[in-house]
Amino acid sequence: MTTFRIGEAAELLGVSADTVRRWVDAGRLAAGRDAQGHRVIDGVDLAAFARAQAADLDDRSDASSARNRLRGIVVNVVKDTVMAQVDIQAGPFRIVSLMSREAVDELDLRVGSLAVAVIKSTTVVVERLSPPGGSRGRHAS
């Protein structure tokens, strides 16, 4: 069974460790203790919590077939006469979109604008992380 320490769970959820501690203290997220007395969260419980959090934030998922929606802030816009590049910082993720200049102008996308990157792809590559020294997730026997 994979378990995560508070800090690891916070990193995966894109929040502070204090926020995760408050959720645990309030009973919103289940946690136990490891052999050293550190609070740990079961991977299955963390995944269910993350799914529930995403569902709460995704108020437009019923209006689109795309389920990958990353809310963030526009950090860069580069336009030429026909095309534009828009960079969005969504938590720790940088999303780069190439679109028409006309679309950028119509959406009034500027540095500092709030935006949602909606991603629909027929190809998604998934890699399994192998934690170096056990720093990303713990495996209990």
Q: Which residues pair with 98 in a beta bridge?
A: 85
**What is the reported pLDDT for 90?**
84
DSSP state of 91: T
Rounded distance between C-alpha atoms, residue 105 and residue 73, angstroms: 16
Dihedrals phi, psi of 29, to nearest 5 degrees: -135, 125
Q: Where are the alpha helices (DSSP H) in 1-141?
A: 6-13, 17-25, 43-57, 101-107
Q: Write out the H or E segment, with its range, that includes residue 70.
A: strand 68-79
Residues of the chain with pLDDT under 70: 1, 54-67, 130-141
| CA 133 to mean position of chain CA atoms | 24
> Whole-structure pTM over 0.75, yes or no?
no
**What is the reported pLDDT for 60?**
55
**What is the reported pLDDT for 124?**
77
The letter for the amino acid at 77 is V
| CA 33 to mean position of chain CA atoms | 26
**What is the reported pLDDT for 129?**
76
68 close to 119: Cβ distance less than 8 angstroms: yes
